[in-house]
Each structure stands twice: as structure tokens, then as C-alpha cells.
Structure 1
Amino acid sequence: MTRFAAPSAGEHDEVPTGSPESGAATGPPPAGRPFQDAGAWLIGGLSLLVTALFLVVNLAYNQWHFIPPVDDAYIHLQYARQIGTGHFLQYNTGDPISTGASSLLYVLILGGVYALGVTGSAFLPFAMLFGALCLALTAALTYRLGTRLAGRGTGISAGLLVALSGPLAWGATSGMEIAFVAFLLVALLLVFTGERAENRFRWTPVVAVAAALTRTELLLFAAVLSLVMVWHVVAHARGTRAPWPRVLGRILWIGLPAYAAAAQYAFYRIATGSAEQNGVLAKSLLHMPAVYPLEVADKVLSNFRIFLTAFTGLSTQDYVFPGALLLAILGVIGLFRRAPQWRGLAMAVGVGVLLVLASVSTLEFADVHHMRYVQPLLPVLLLFAVIGIHSAAQLFPAARRSVLVGGVVVALLFSASQLPAWSLRQAQQAAGIRDQQVTISNWIKGHLPPGARVAVNDVGAPAYFSERYIVDLIGLATTGFATPNLHGPGSLYEELKRLPEQRRPDYFVIFDSWSVHGLGEGGLFGRELITFELKSPRFSHTTLGGGSACQAARNCDKVTVYQADWDLLDSGDQPLEPPNGQIRDRLNVADLRDEERHDYQVVPAHQGFQPRTHLRTVIGPDGGDVVDSGRHVVGGESFTFHDLVPGRELTILGRIDPTEPEGGEPTGSRAVQVRADDELVGTWRFDADPRGWVETTFTIPAELVTEPTLTVELGPLQEFLGPYPDYSSYTYWAVQ
């Protein structure tokens, strides 16, 4: 039966454990001589061989040029290059600081390497090779961690599974921070186990600081492990009656990662106005135009289920070997029961994984790029799955060794058999990036003026290759655009209007299939310069999150370059016809800042409705085009006018498009009940016009205008039951 022995004095770095194969007590190689451990070298070398083969396949598919499988890698390279040239977190030189890099420590390291002279065509290969090295170190450290926790056999099996993992090899050669995050996670656990025997954690908090500055997911892991360290320190102090000032000092030292994270987020808040990274603002379900708790919970649970499906390996996908997650849970339970000295570690791993999965599940596209946000968990998952195989083998005393060896061999064979598919998938995705984003970026460099400003909705390669000023419409690299983009093209249009003229785009490079393409409805897209259509190969086989690699999945196979046209920019600011009175206030619907100033909100008739924004162009009285941004409303709205004259009749002039579903159909959804400061005023009926929005008025009696401010509510004619108002609102003017 597997024995988990307690650490003995003088051997706390490597805990002698029962060998899973024989049950005899054996001593792993001393932790003080890691460079003399042949097992670690062999496993690390195998990992390097696997990633080298991935890179060779990638090169063969891309005419022997290094290309990452995701465009986001170029975001890191651009930030790192800017850091290396002295422009800290400025995506464009001279820009305000932005937080589009998902890993601060990773881009700082790459920036330092760039400053040392690894530049030009050598920079991307370095990033990809650095990832390969990090994965090799991760595999070797997983072997040592497994040996320390449950014996050499466990360590070897876990290290081999990491080295042969297709998803990890994909992530390591992607140019992203995936393998670096995995390395820090395993290193954090390994250093913890080395310091656990004395319950004096000197270096574990230092490694936890690096983890906290790398990814939010690792910060969660570091926080849980810090609580475990505090628990061990307090328990040890009670047993030894150590002086409490010394204990308090050790606890304060354990808090290092919390201090580092607080400093990082405080810096973000001061520099950008938000403590959250732009990636979170752009992708989180908690930042949608309307947040419905149960709707969010439903999507979070759906994302969580995707992760469980992938890690269980019981679907038709090839992410891990079948039953991996179930065995990992059994491994955590087994380690907790049989090894008292590792109970805190077992709890930290279990809780940490749950917190990371729950955190990532709050993202709208949580499984993006083969679940790259949770790929760094794989080494820990695979290690505890192997421990779980050992625990399961104990249930069959007569055939324990056969079950153990058979389970490990099946897991290794499954992992190895999927490597060709993952390498091919990576190369095909890289070919899509080369055929589209890299090609487009080089076209921009060769065909657009050197001082041109270019707006894009996939920001990586264009900035890195084109040497042009880039405006990121998604909001990762351009601070202030993430939230408007979530609301839709209408709000994005209004944010573009606010840009200083020297930062306003001269050209747009847009995926035809993305919602950002709706900016064209506002006349911003002028002359079409060129359209790029993908010719690269599709996926040979899809897997979880593969659709988000949209070039190879053909979800974004066409990109058009437009010359910007700003001629209609302010055409919708005034009513089409002069109003009968003075305009006292104006609410520009879809302009998020103006909506906030007027306390504007959509009051939906149904939970789950997202009042997204859009653009519409109509022909004005003089025959010219007029553009305005609007928001779709199903139910009603409320807003507050300012600067009114009390005691004077108020006319609300509204720019409304009530043509849902058809202009000629009497749907009953083109009327709203109007309240002024909670007083019922009457019914406002909208006239439909198939050409677009119309301007219509509603009068509020003078006796209801008692203050300089007035809150107006538009809603259904009857509570609970339809037909509900269904229209788009663009602008409201207060006229007296």
C-alpha cells in the first residue's frame, strides 16, 4: 500500500515516501542537487524535443518563418518592444499607459531581453523558444514535485505526461505566457514543499510575488497557498510556543504577493483610471451593457462545464487522457488522507483550481484559443491524476501493480498519440495568422503613408509589423474603448468622436464578420482599398476553443481596408428641423459619458435583454446624409434633463426609430407611457418610417416642471403584459 511518510529532520527538502510500485520506502534524489538528477534532465529534454518538433511543423507550414498560432502573441511583443525602448506600457509611442498585456511580468522579461539586443526577426523566435524552455522546466519540476509528494514513479509518470501534452506544447510554442505561468505554478508548489518541514517560508512568498504579477489566475493560487502557509506557521508556533512577534513577522512576510498585487492594481488605477486590466474590461461578463445575475451565473456555469468536460477527457475531444479530472480529484483526496504533512497543499490545490476555473468562467469567451487561460493548470492536473491512479490501484490488492502500470501506460499512449494532431493544428492556425494578420500588417507598412493612423479590431500584428499608429477598437491596447465596444458600434462611434484629431484614424482595417463592422453604417468607411481573403488551410481537427482561432476556423476569413471618412461626424448633433423654442439640454443616447451625465438607463421588459447600440444614416431635409448613434430598447427608458426653467412648458423632441418589426404593421409596440418625476403625463405614440428614424415630440405641462432637473420615464402602456415598446432611441432634446 502506498505510504506517505512525514518529513524527517535534515531531509525536509525531499520527503521520503513509499514507492508506489513496490511499497518500500525509498529516498528520492536530494533536492539540493537538482542539476545532477538524470530523471529531470531526461524529462526536460523530452519536452524540448516535442516542442522542437512543433516548431519544425510550424516552420514547414510557413515557408520557414516563425509565426505564432494566435495574433495575441504580437500584443506581448509590441508592449515588450516598447518597454525595451523606454516607453513603458505605451502601445504607441506617446500614448497614455494601457493594460492590454495580459501578463505584466512576462512582458517585462521580454522587454528586458529586447533592451539587451534580441530584436528584429530574432524577437519572436526568442519568445517561442523561451516558452519551450519554460515547458521543459515545468516538466522537470513536475517530476521533482511528484517525487517529493508520492515517490519517484509518480514523479516520472507525471513529468512524462507534461512533456507529452499536446495542449501544453501548443501553448509553449504560441509566443504567449502560457508555459511561463505553468512553470511558476509548479515552482511555487515545489518551493512550498521544500519549506514545509520547518514551517518557515522564506522563498515561497517570493515566488508567489512573481506568480501574482504574471496572471490573475496565479494570484488566486498564491492567495490560497498563502492562507495555508499562515495556517502552518500559526500551528507550528502554538506547538513550539514561538514568540508571537517573530510569528507575526513571518505572517507579514507571507503577505508579499498580496502587497505586490495591491501595488500593481493601484498603479493601474492611477495610470488608466481602472484597476482592472483592459482584457478583463473587454471580455468579462460582469461588464456587459446590462448585467443580470442569473444570466451571468448561467453562462459562468456553462463555461465551467466546458472546462470540466475538457479536463475529464470523456468527450470526443483530445485535451487530456480519459478520466484525468476524476483521477485528479481522487489524487487530492488520497494525498489528504494518507499524507498529513501535505494536507494543506492538497487543500490549496483543490481550492486553487476551483477558484481559477470559476474566475476564468466569468469571461465571455472563456475557452478562447484551446482554453489558453487554464492551460497552465494542466501540470498540476496531470500530477494529481497520476497520484489518483496510484490511489485507485490500492482498490485491487491482487492486481495493484498491473492496474497501476496499465493506467499510466494508457495515459502516456493517449497523450503521445495526440501530439501529431496538436502540432498540425498549431501550424495551420499559424498559417492563418500569416495569411491574414501578418500579410495585412506588411501591406499597411508598404502601402499606407508613414504617419498614417490605423484603426483595427485585431490589434497584435498591425502594430508590431506596420510601424504605424494603431487604434485598437476592441480596447485592449487603447484605453477607453473596451466598454464602448461591449455596448456596440454606436457607443464605439461616440468614443471615436472624442479622440483628439491627431489620434483619429485615417484608415480602418476591419473583419467583415465582427460587430465592429457596424461602424460602416455611420459612414466612417470611405473608399475600399483592398480586401484580404484567407487561402490558408482549415483545421484538420477541431477541439475545445478551436473556433476562437478564427482564421483557421474560418470565422473571420475576410478583412477589408477602408479609408476613413469623417465628413458626417457631427451631422446628427442638431434636430433636422429647428425646434419651436430654445434647446435647454440634449441627451445623446449611446454616448456612455452623456448617458451617465443624464442618469440614463434602459428598463427592459424582460431579463436577459442586452440594449446594444448601433448607427443609422438617414437623408436630411437638404438631401444630405445625417448620422446618429442609437440604442435598442425593449420595454422603456429613464433619464434626467438638466438646466430647465421651472414653471415653463417642456417639449421633448425625440429621435426615434419605431420600425419594428415592419413599418406598416400595427404591432402595438410603437407607444410608450410617459411619466415626469413619477407623475403620469400621457401616451407618446411614435410614427414609423421605413427609411429610418424620425423626430417626434411630446409636451410636458408647465406645472410638472418644478425644478431645473426633471426625470422622464418611458415605459409600457400596461404593466407585465405586452405588447412592449420596441424601438431604437437616438437623441432626446429638452426644448422650452
Structure 2
Amino acid sequence: MATIPAGALGFPLDDAWIHMVYARAVAFEGGLHYNPGEPGRGCTSLLWPLVVAPVFRLTGSADGVVRAVQGLGAGLHAAASALAALIVGSLLGPPGRRWALLAGLTVALCPPLLVAALSGMEVTLTAALLCGMVFLALRAWPQAAAEPRARNAWEAGLLAGLVCWARPEGMAPVLLLLLLWSLASLRTRSWLRSLLPFALPVFAALAVSTTRYLLATGRLVTSTYHVKQELSLLELLPRLGTAMLALLSRVPPFWGLIAWLALLALPFATTGDARQRGRLLLPWGTGLGFLLANLAVMPPIDPGAFYHLRYLLPPVPLLTAAVTVAVALFARRLRAPFPFALRFAFPALCLAGILATAVPAVRGFHQDCRNINEVQRALGTWLGSVTRPGDWIAVTDAGAIRFFSGRATIDLLGLNTPLPDADQPALAPPVSFLVLMPAWVQPAEGTRLHVVQACSTSPYTVTSSPAMALQGAMVCGDEAGPAPQLVRLRGVTDVSLTCRPWSRSERERLALTPAASTCTPEAGVWGS
């Protein structure tokens, strides 16, 4: 699945290559840097680059990195699948072994989750940590007249802290679990002794991540998260509807109505004392907490793209476990013939969903990887061959181009580097190349750029906008003399910077080697 026929290995999102930039810096520079020596501002997942970093000590080739990272993602996916099964088994006991096996297999064979495991993103890491946190919390859950199992409580707290490092919205289910733990601890002999083993690792992790964000960006979150988030509780219900109907409808077992009905009905299916009901609702509450937190801050504006689906995938193993528990509980309580029907209908639904979504998921994965390889990776590799150490480049897409060029880079969206000062653009280093996406930015009046490589890919599936399939490598000409020239760009970002001029003969030499078969050298002049 990970190998593209007649092509290179790859990732389906440029964002994955941003993570690789940070992971490489951790491996060789000892810090989360986008450019050497500069604290990175856009590392949304603090943990994922740290987990991936050892890969760069084991292999030196880009394809070797891709294979190793995809293997790591697959291992984490297997862990999430096993933990989902263990959660169901813990809640249903020995009679629920078949249900536990069903939950584990549904997660393991879920095509979108398999794609996420190979995507180079933090999806399966977050999913495995969420499942591990809930499983250990179930084992250590406080109960009347007894202290929680201290070792499991510490372990659950440690994983909860790591969840916050894996994704910023992971704080929502962690804080919800902390609240439920606190309430359950009220029934123990010592509320504080019951709470501290779980709470201390959580607050320690939050303190470290918050301090790091403040030092790097001056905010409580990364620049990437700050720019992309659109917090709106009023829009939460419409966004949830989009998630259910257009995004998670492509994810077994949620492609059918029965799974959503079971998920909504789980609170009414629980029986027993308050402790038992609380345990049964743990995967349900934490999974929904992550899902709703993400939808509250990240609008699903392009539901057909994996780019947006991946944000909602981390809680899917937990929610699959919750749905399986709900179906099992209803199968126990209902009269014949409904239990018999549920025991066959739900597994059949899971299997049908896996079969129905497998081909589109695999095809989309390969297509997205090809799109990234033919544009961003091709331009980055070409820039690495025509630039010199010490040259700077400026880009609108900050992942594969930075990774493969190996050159210091200005992120023109301000996600990974500070934007140049519009009033004093000369304070930023003059760039040798600009790699721009015309769908996002245009040269302002008076700015003239020479396009030396224009790369496009078709059909384009990374997003639903075909215009984003085109990017160009551009330079300044020497018409105004040998001094660095002012470049002003307008669009999704308004920015001014300087670039060094290239003579006509130099530009002609750049056009001698096309970046890839999908690229056109010396594509003309852009701007006035």
C-alpha cells in the first residue's frame, strides 16, 4: 500500500514533511528547529518529531526515512487496535471476548486508519496514547473505600500528559478524564492521594509544553495551531453534522447509522453502581471529548480531503470500542430475536464498511503521495541541486521543499518562521528563490518575478481545489541592477522581503535542468 507504482515512496500531506524537518533537527541539532538554531514555531505535535528523530540516526536516505516512519506508524496502529480490544474486554469481562476481538479487528482493518498510519503524521501515535490512557485509567479507577492502583494511576497520568504533547486538542479529553477521576476519588478514603498519581504527570506535561510554546511563539499554542484554528461553539453542531455525514461516514464502523445510534444510546445502556457506569463511559466520553474539541477549533472546510479527515481519526479507536460495548450491552438486555440480530448485524456492518472504503482509501493515498512528490518534493530536490550552502529560500508550502532542499527557509505564511517585517523587509536575509503557489499569493504592483520552474500535478486530490496543484520556483531579475530587490506579495499573506537578482545567463542555466517531468523550465514572467 505504501509503495507508489512506478514512483517514489512518499507521504500524502506536505505537513508530514514539516514533521520530518523538525525530527531531523532533533536528531542532529538536539532541538525542535525549523531552521538551524531557531526554535520552531509551527510544530503542532511536540511528541511526534521526538518519536521519529531516531529514524534519522538509522537511515540517511529520504526513502529510508519514509519506510521507517511508515513502519513506526503501522506499529502504533497495531498498538491502538490491541488497546481498543483490551478496553472492550476490560469493560465486558470474559463473556465479551468475541466483542473485544471484533473491536480490535475493526480498528486494525479500518482503511482510513491504515492510511493515517502510513501518512507520516501523528494520528496513530495520538490514537495509541488515547487508548493506552483509557485502558490504564480503567485498571486504576478509584472506588469506594479503596485507593486506586498507584502504579496504573501514574502510568495513566503519564500517557495523558503525552496525549497533550501529541495533539493540542488532546487537552480536552485529558482534562475531562481528570475531572471524572477527581469526582470518583471523592468516594475514596483520601481524595488527594487518589487524585495526585494521575494529576501530577498531566500538569507537569502541560507546564513543559506551555513553557515551550510561550518561549517559541509568545502564545499558549504553536503558530500553526493559532493560524488554523477558528474557535466557534456556535458552529459546533453544523461542524459535527459535516463530520458525521461527510468525514466519518468514510470510516468503519461509522459509515452506518447503527454505529451512531449505539454511540448516542450508550449512556442509557449502562447499569450498575456509579463506579461501573463511570468506567463504561470512559472511552465514550474521552473519544467524544477529543472529537468535539477538534471540531470546535478546526472547521472541516474541505471534507472530501484526507487533510481534514486525519484531524478526526485519533479518537476513532476509542469510539469504536465504545460502540462495540454499547451493542454488546443492548444484545444482553434485549429480548429475542434482537440479540441474535445484533450479534450478526454489527460485525456484518463493520466488514461491509471495511470492504466499501478500502479501494477509495488506497487509491486516494497513492494519488495524494504522487501529487506531493511531483510538485513539492520535485521542487525541493531541484533547489537542493542549484543552491549553495548559505542560500535562503522563501516558500508558501513549508514541508517537502524545506526538507529536500536542505536550505534555510522563510515560511511566507508565518507558521514555522516569523514573517519578515513589512516596514523593514531588508532586515530579513535576501532570498535566492521564492517557491510560490499562485492560488495563495500574487505579486503586488511593481513586483516582477521570473518563473524558472513551474510544476503541476494532475489529477490533484490533496485538496478539492485544482488551483493548488501548481507551484513555481521564481527568482528576481537584474533589470534594476545588482542590489537586492524588494518583493511584495498579496493574498492569504501580505508580506514584503528582498531577493538577490539573477542575470539572464544565470536564469538560462537554471532552465537547463527541469525539476521533474511534471515541471516546465523558464515559464515566463510573473507580475508587472
- TM-score, normalised relative to structure 2: 0.81
Distance 1:308 1:413, change over 3 A: closer
Read off the aligned partner of 1:424 and give its amino acid letter. R
Q: In the aligned structure 2, how far is the partner of 1:496 from the partner of 1:112?
A: 39
Q: In the aligned structure 2, how far is the partner of 1:162 from the partner of 1:612?
A: 38
Give 1 or 2 for the bigger CA radius of gyration. Answer: 1
SS at match of 2:136: helix
Distance 1:448 1:405, change over 3 A: same
Match of 1:559 among 471, 478, 483: 471
CA contact (8 A) 2:392 2:409 kept: yes
Q: In the aligned structure 2, how far is the partner of 1:219 from the partner of 1:615?
A: 34
Shift of 1:347: 4.4
Q: In the aligned structure 2, how far is the partner of 1:206 from the partner of 1:351?
A: 19
Does residue 24 of structure 2 align to residue 71 of structure 1? no
Shift of 1:319: 7.9
Shift of 1:337: 2.8
Query: How do residues 283-298 of structure 1 correspond to structure 2 at under 5 angstroms?
Result: 283-285=228-230, 296-298=232-234
Read off the aligned partner of 1:117 and give its amino acid letter. L
Match of 2:278 in 1: 344
Match of 1:309 in 2: 245
Match of 1:531 among 454, 458, 462: 454
- Identity rate, percent: 22
Query: How do residues 347-496 of structure 1 correspond to structure 2 at under 5 angstroms?
Result: 347-361=281-295, 362-365=297-300, 369-393=307-331, 394-478=333-417, 480-481=418-419, 495-496=421-422
Shift of 1:68: 0.6
Structure 1 gaps, min length 5: 1-53, 238-243, 287-295, 482-493, 540-548, 572-589, 591-610, 617-736
Cα shift readout 1:257-280 (whole Å, capped 9, x = no counterpart): 123112211222123322211111
CA contact (8 A) 1:62 1:434 kept: no
Does residue 50 of structure 2 align to residue 108 of structure 1? yes
CA contact (8 A) 1:178 1:376 kept: yes
Q: In the aligned structure 1, how far is the partner of 2:67 from the partner of 2:251?
A: 30
Match of 1:217 in 2: 169
Match of 1:692 in 2: none
Distance 1:403 1:267, change over 3 A: closer
Match of 1:13 in 2: none
Match of 2:436 in 1: 510
Q: In the aligned structure 2, how far is the partner of 1:312 from the partner of 1:327?
A: 15
Match of 1:333 in 2: 268
Structure 2 gaps, min length 5: 478-482, 497-528
Q: In the aligned structure 2, how far is the partner of 1:84 from the partner of 1:346?
A: 41
Q: Which has the higher contact order (CA 8 A, sep 6+)?
A: 2
CA contact (8 A) 2:437 2:472 kept: yes
Distance 1:451 1:110, change over 3 A: same
Q: In the aligned structure 1, how far is the partner of 2:178 from the partner of 2:233?
A: 28
Match of 1:156 among 97, 101, 106: 101
Shift of 1:498: 3.9
Distance 1:251 1:101, change over 3 A: same
Shift of 1:204: 1.3
Read off the aligned partner of 1:119 and give its amino acid letter. G
Does residue 67 of structure 2 align to residue 139 of structure 1? no
SS at match of 2:475: strand
SS at match of 2:383: helix
Distance 1:251 1:179, change over 3 A: same
SS at match of 1:531: strand
- TM-score, normalised relative to structure 1: 0.59
Match of 2:59 in 1: 118
Shift of 1:340: 4.4
**RMSD, aligned CA:** 2.9
CA contact (8 A) 1:74 1:464 kept: yes
SS at match of 1:162: helix
Q: In the aligned structure 2, how far is the partner of 1:395 from the partner of 1:524?
A: 72
CA contact (8 A) 2:422 2:495 kept: no
Q: In the aligned structure 1, how far is the partner of 2:13 from the partner of 2:248?
A: 26
Cα shift readout 1:60-102 (whole Å, capped 9, x = no counterpart): 3352x3201111111111101001112412111133x123122
Query: How do residues 171-320 of structure 1 correspond to structure 2 at under 5 angstroms?
Result: 171-196=116-141, 199-200=148-149, 201-237=153-189, 244=190, 247-255=191-199, 256-285=201-230, 296-310=232-246, 313=249, 320=254
Shift of 1:612: 8.7
Distance 1:348 1:301, change over 3 A: same
SS at match of 2:48: helix
Shift of 1:410: 2.3
SS at match of 1:203: helix
Q: In the aligned structure 1, how far is the partner of 2:448 from the partner of 2:86?
A: 57
SS at match of 1:161: helix
Query: How do residues 10-29 of structure 1 correspond to structure 2 at under 5 angstroms?
Result: none
Q: In the aligned structure 1, how far is the partner of 2:154 from the partner of 2:492?
A: 51
Larger relative helix fraction: 2
Distance 1:234 1:399, change over 3 A: closer
Q: In the aligned structure 2, how far is the partner of 1:227 from the partner of 1:298?
A: 24
Distance 1:317 1:258, change over 3 A: closer
Distance 1:427 1:553, change over 3 A: farther
Q: In the aligned structure 2, how far is the partner of 1:73 from the partner of 1:302?
A: 29
Read off the aligned partner of 1:374 and give its amino acid letter. L
Match of 2:444 among 511, 521, 531: 521
SS at match of 2:311: coil
Q: In the aligned structure 2, how far is the partner of 1:88 from the partner of 1:499?
A: 28
SS at match of 1:495: coil
CA contact (8 A) 1:530 1:560 kept: yes
Shift of 1:298: 4.8
Cα shift readout 1:358-378 (whole Å, capped 9, x = no counterpart): 332222556561421120111
CA contact (8 A) 2:374 2:457 kept: yes
